[in-house]
């Protein structure tokens, strides 16, 4: 798999107040090293149980160590790497599942905050998020789906709260 260019400008991370400082801390070399290790550990081949994988936590530990003085920057790298490899919807699903377990709830919540901030930065509308989370796939069955969908019942309300506080 080719390494993708994940410059902060393309992700729009530099436009959110407070996040601009994080962007300055994200060095291309550290991001490249994180991407390389992610691939080496074959984490790009894992989706549904990524947060349960010992290899994932080895990778997280490595990224966190690289950004020891700036843990928020480490979380930004973790989110951008997973999103680049698996997509926003897959990451959102992983985070919902990880938030259900007491052992991963806090970490997943931190990563969800980064993902939501990324969506705000890229100016995603409520419609964009509905489509991204595939909540619009069933037309008239939307309300049934949103009640049954972990993404609809967890991620969407978090997103709507973020949108209101902008």
pTM above 0.75, yes or no: no
51 assigned to some structural domain: yes
Number of domains in the chain: 1
52 assigned to some structural domain: yes
In this prediction, residue 121 carries a pLDDT of 87
166 assigned to some structural domain: no
1 assigned to some structural domain: no
23 assigned to some structural domain: yes
The angle, 0 to 180 degrees and rounded to 10, between the axes of the packed helices 54-66 and 28-40 is 170
Please give the structure tokens belonging to residue 63: 């990224």
148 assigned to some structural domain: no
DSSP string for residues in the chain: -PPP---HHHHTGGGSTTHHHHHHH--HHHHHHHHHHHHHTTGGG--TTGGG-HHHHHHHHHHHHHTTT-HHHHHHHHHHHHHHHH-HHHHHHHHHHHHHSTTTHHHHHHHHHHHHHHHHHTT--HHHHHHHTTTTTTGGGHHHHHHH-HIIIIIHHHHHHHHHT-
Q: pLDDT, tens digit, for every residue of 16-31?
A: 555 555 555 556 888 8
Q: 67: domain range?
A: 8-124
Q: pLDDT, tens digit, for every residue of 3-17?
A: 444 444 444 444 455
DSSP string for residues in 71-110: HHHHHHHHHHHHHHHH-HHHHHHHHHHHHHSTTTHHHHHH
Q: pLDDT, tens digit, for every residue of 104-149?
A: 999 999 999 999 888 888 888 888 887 877 766 655 454 454 444 4
156 assigned to some structural domain: no
86 assigned to some structural domain: yes
In this prediction, residue 22 carries a pLDDT of 54
């Amino acid at each position: 798999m080719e390494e993708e260019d994940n410059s902060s400008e393309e992700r729009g991370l530099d436009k959110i107040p407070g996040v601009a400082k994080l962007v300055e801390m994200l060095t291309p070399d550290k991001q490249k090293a994180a991407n390389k290790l992610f691939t080496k550990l074959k984490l790009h081949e894992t989706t549904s149980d990524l947060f349960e994988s010992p290899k994932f936590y080895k990778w997280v530990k490595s990224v966190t160590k690289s950004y020891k003085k700036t843990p928020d920057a480490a979380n930004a790298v973790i989110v951008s790497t997973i999103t680049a490899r698996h997509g926003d919807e897959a990451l959102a699903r992983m985070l919902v599942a990880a938030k259900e377990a007491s052992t991963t709830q806090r970490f997943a919540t931190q990563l969800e905050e980064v993902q939501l901030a990324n969506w705000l930065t890229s100016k995603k509308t409520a419609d964009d998020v509905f489509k991204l989370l595939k909540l619009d796939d069933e037309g008239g069955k939307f309300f049934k789906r949103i009640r049954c969908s972990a993404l609809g019942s967890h991620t969407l309300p978090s997103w709507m709260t973020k949108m209101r506080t902008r």
